Amino acid sequence: MYSIRKADTPVGEATLIKFTNASGASVELSSLGAGIISLCVPDKDGTLTDVVLGYDNIADYAGDGPCCGKIPGRYANRIAKGRFTLDGKEYTLPVNNGPNHLHGGPDGFQNKIWNVAVINENSVVFTLESPDGDSGYPGTVSVEAKYTWTDDNRLELELTAHSDAPTVINLTNHTYWNLGGHDSGSALEHTLQLCASEYLPTDSTLVPEGVKVPVKGSPMDFTEAKAVGRDIRLPFPALVFGKGYDNCWAVDNYEPGKIQRVATLKHPKNGISLEVLSDQPGVQVYSGNWLTGSPKGKNGAEYHDYDAVAIECQDFPDAPNVPAFPSTVLRPGETYRRNIHFVLS
């Protein structure tokens, strides 16, 4: 079943849709940024626990630095120096993260009110039209985000897009997970396993250098489950550049359209685990390194650095400038389609 409420925000009225499944577990979604604002599942004792960070005031989701729970676009993650060339023409994008363009810029998809196109007992489709020239990107792009909440506590997200001119696109979901509860403090004791034996090293501004490097023997190795915080203070370049983990890993055995397990996150005590499945080639892991100063959290909670982990399935950062990376070009007549599944147990 579902319920709907409304909330005023600086960018327009947001529609909030809460789905509750047969077991009483629930997810609440917002048309502002097509985001996840709460997700409540039972722990090993049956206590419902809200495992995603979010804000007390829905208006605070507009323009928030963490991009909490939302779908950034037109291009998630970074594009170096806010420039790329497509079919011989250079495009300039707003720079909003050091010298780089991040998450589509300050007016990205995450800060827009999406339309609520279709809704039924366990799913909703949000749609958005991004006009030609939006934040410097070419082509008018139509985007759909379909969320489905199942009785076995599985939240499925299907992202599709079409364009009337060649453009680039990279979509993900930017939820912050703390399986102990959104207000339970540090997430560094969570264990994380990634199905990724290579990662993308970056320069000091967190833009990939254009190569994939084996994780073996480095703090970037999550091929076996380990605590997120175990190696986070080591003097390793990636960890120094980001003040923690903020890197993209290359998913093993990636095939376009093949949905497979990408990551497993577990709480060390309460029995809640999260499996993330996707058909995307990369997964950005961000250990919440700059959460201090976020808007006031749900029920008055205050969030601090490392209080959550974001697991963002996506194409590679800066791919429009790196021919060796999987292409993120979308042309007329083509369909961009990506899937991300969050499975709670």
**Cis check: omega of the bond before 74, within 30 degrees of 0:** yes
Q: Which of 162, 174, 190, 267 is the catalytic position? A: 174
Whole-angstrom Cα distance, residue 46 to residue 272? 10
Whether residue 183 contacts residue 56, with contact meaning beta carbons closer than 8 Å, is answered with: no
34 exposure class (CB count in 10 Å sphere: 0-12, 13-18, 19+)? buried
* Catalytic residue flag (residue 174): yes
Query: For residue 96, which amino acid is it?
Result: N
Q: Which of 28, 144, 156, 312 is the catalytic position? A: 312
Query: For residue 233, which amino acid is it?
Result: R
- In the chain, count H helices and then E strands: 1, 26
* Catalytic residue flag (residue 198): no
- Catalytic residues, by residue number, are 174, 312
